[in-house]
Chain A
Amino acid sequence: MKTFIMICSIMACTLIKAQTVQNFQLKNLENQTNSFSELRGEKLTLIDFWASWCKPCLKAIPELNKIYAEYESRGVKIIGINCDGPRSMAKVAPLSQSLQIKYPVLLDINSEVMNNLGLQAFPTLILVNFEGKIIWTHEGYVTGDLEIIISEIEKNLGNR
């Protein structure tokens, strides 16, 4: 019966669809406040939730730099949301500089945006369309994921 109740509660939840990114405001590495509406792409926005202690996150960053260089002019923006807590927040700016991150990095010390979206892993990449709807989510980063991200961007650019 307990299992049945659990399954029912999950099923009740899965009846519902659609996920939109609500506008949020966070400070950037320059100590200035930016909002999602200011930074979002004209067609697509790729948001990368990362932390300095997460190795796959750091592995993804040079690849995201490549995507940013290639797709920015095509209406695709990337936003990095760093979720380091107080313990390692101080390292984010020097690390970002060392990795030469080209796209804006925002600091979310309480992981509020990530929690609001129900994301539970680092790194998580979400692709947001021009309406603000999340059209693709990707957890983790391993070799070969670059091709998957590019293919998803291309597919959705074609749909616009």
Chain B
Amino acid sequence: MGRIWKMIFISCLLTIPCITLNAQVKGTNLIEYQYGELPGDTAALSTIYDRAVVNFYKKSFRASVALEQFYTRYENRNYLKLTQYSIQYQTDQLEVKIGNFYETIGRGVLLRSFEIPGAILEDLSYRSRHYFNHDILGFVAKYRYKNFTTKAMYGQPLNYVFPPSQDKKSRRPDIIEAVYSDYSFKGQTFGASALRLTNASGSKVYGMVTASGKINPVVSYYTEFAKNISNYAITDFSGQSPNAFYGNINLVFKKTGITAEYKKYTNFLLGSGINEPPALVKEYSYKLLNRSTHVLQPLNESGFQLEAYYTFKNLSTLTLNNTVAINDFGERYVFQEYFAEYDFTLSTKHDIKVFADYAEDPFTLEEHRISLGSLIEWRIFKVSNIKTEYEFQTFNRSGESVQNHVLTFGYAWKSKFICSLTGEYSNDPFITDGSSNKIWLGTNIKFQLNNENSIQLFAGQRRGGPACNAGICYEVLDFKGIEIRMTNRF
């Protein structure tokens, strides 16, 4: 009963301010129902998850609340929580935010927070679903004046492995205090930052400097260097001294773009994972390649990534990528990948993408990994198309030959109605549970009712494994059952 009153109170909290203050209100709601089995389940489980976000606007002020709730038949997994709330004041020069906020320093070497739109996370240990975000609870103030920017913040970053059903101490074990300032002139920006991290293991201070800009119309660059400055001398670059360097150079010529990136991270995993230095590994939309990603090891990793784009006269594009990541934990692991993709249009209406990829991944014991695939969207009539996608992957692991296949058939009518049927096959002994092979068959249907409402349905089996979305990689669990998702924007 107490929960019902809490819910009514929260609903009033969400709606009364907009009526009394005549504020502008906007928000979103995401609700997802699942019925099915995850790894380890012996019977199908029914769960429901909901997240409502409401933002109130009044002139330069903004208030925001996010309410999350999750229910199963197991009480210890259930929760109803205001997981985010904030008040913000913003003008062209000043911005102050109290509550939950997202902030990244530089390219994430010192501090990285994020929200993955629409992603719901579930961990096998807790079996409680929650929104995938990595925010900070505290306050941040930013000031901009002409070419000068500065920001100061204090807060507790979220360790997103723990769902809202867990206590705050587990979810937010770190405290940060940070300042960042930069100054721009003649197309160049120079910045500096200091961050104090306090947690159960004590207090440490990290410093960072950045430089970025455009040298001429062809060349631009970005560099940042950070290190622990409280426990080690500034000149100490030994294997124990935490330090991180990231840099890139971009070259552009008419229809060609080239980017070259370099990284060297030593002992640079901060707290419970408040930072996320750039991985320098390409994020793919192709299922097999996305799953075969190399996961960054900030404790010891160096390497580079080269990528080039060329757009032909007929607007077809060629993408080439080469990635090398080296980890040295007493034993040296060298991840290497070569990728090529050609994207073109046939008869001015059918879109075709073909790719080829070769990799060596000693971390996952995958030798001579070859991946090939094509994605074709056949336009039929004026506003509908049929999608066919096929991906194939083969590699050797400990003398065994492993193959993965993905086949998708889909139909789309405008962006209003999209349906697809996906079949996956693997004979990888790591995931076939003792059988010689495993097949996953699932269907997806998405119906966009109007600008504000959409419904998605999944039925069948979904293959789990590492997945990268919006630059963040995480583990997706195998699922067998049905899933219905409704999103509403208001």
Question: Are the C-beta atoms of B71 and A2 separated by less than 8 Å?
Answer: yes
Task: Check B307–A10 contact: CB distance below 8 A.
Answer: no
Interface presence of A145 (CB below 8 A) = yes
- List residues of chain A with CB within 8 A of the CB of B257: 91, 93-98
Can you list, as one digit per residue, whether each of B85-110 has a CB less than 8 Å from chain A (1) or not (0)? 00000101000000000111011100
Please tell me if B332 contacts chain A, counting CB pairs below 8 Å: no
Which residue of chain B lies nearest to A53 when distances are taken between CB atoms in the complex? B283
* Beta-carbon contact of B414 and A142 below 8 Å: yes
Q: Which of B10, B11, B254, B379 has the most CB of A within 10 A?
A: B11
Contact between chains at B50 and A94 (CB < 8 Å)? no
A110 contacts B470, CB within 8 Å? no
**Contact call A86/B117, Cβ cutoff below 8 A:** no
- State whether the Cβ of B431 lies closer than 8 Å to any Cβ in chain A: no
B245 smallest CB distance to A (angstroms) = 14
Contact: B118 with A10, CB < 8 Å?
Answer: no
Which one, B24-32, B265-273, B393-401, B474-482, is touching chain A?
B24-32
Interface residues contributed by chain A, number (CB under 8 Å) = 74
Which residues of chain B (350-399) have a CB below 8 Å from chain A?
Answer: 351, 353, 375, 377, 379, 382-385
Contacts of A93 in B (CB 8 A): 220, 250, 252, 257, 259
Asked if B7 CB lies within 8 Å of chain A CBs, one says yes
Pick the interface stretch among A40-48, A73-81, A118-126. A118-126
With known contacts A20-B24, A111-B115, A143-B385, A85–B451 Cβ distance under 8 A: no
B67 within 8 A of A: yes
CA A144 – CA B252 in complex, angstroms? 31
Residue of A nearest to B114 (CB): A85
The majority secondary structure among interface residues of chain B is strand
Instruction: Give the distance in Å from the alpha carbon of A59 to the alpha carbon of B415 in the complex.
Output: 13
Q: Is B487 among interface residues, defined by CB-CB distance under 8 A?
A: yes
Query: CB distance A87 to B415 under 8 Å?
Result: no
What distance in Å separates the Cβ of B27 from its nearest Cβ neighbour in chain A? 6
A116-152 at interface with B (beta carbon < 8 Å): 116-122, 136-145, 147-148
User: Which of B53-61, B153-161, B194-202, B227-235 contacts the other chain?
Assistant: B53-61
Set of chain B residues within 8 Å of A69, measured between Cβ atoms: none
B379 lies within 8 A of A143 (CB): yes
Q: Which of A5, A30, A120, A144 contacts B117 (CB 8 A)?
A: A120
Structural contact, A25 and B490, CB atoms closer than 8 A: no
Question: Is A112 in the interface zone, CB < 8 Å from B?
Answer: yes
Where the two chains meet, the residues of B that have a C-beta atom closer than 8 Å to any C-beta of A are 4, 7, 10-11, 14-15, 18, 24-31, 48, 50, 52-55, 57, 62, 67, 69, 71, 90, 92, 102-104, 106-108, 112-115, 117-118, 144, 184, 187-189, 212-214, 220, 222, 248, 250-259, 261, 276-285, 307-311, 315, 317, 343, 349, 351, 353, 375, 377, 379, 382-385, 412, 414-415, 418, 448, 451-452, 454, 470-472, 487-490
Instruction: Please provide the 4 A-B residue pairs with the shortest distance between their CB atoms, ordered closest to farther.
Output: A94-B257, A144-B383, A85-B471, A87-B471
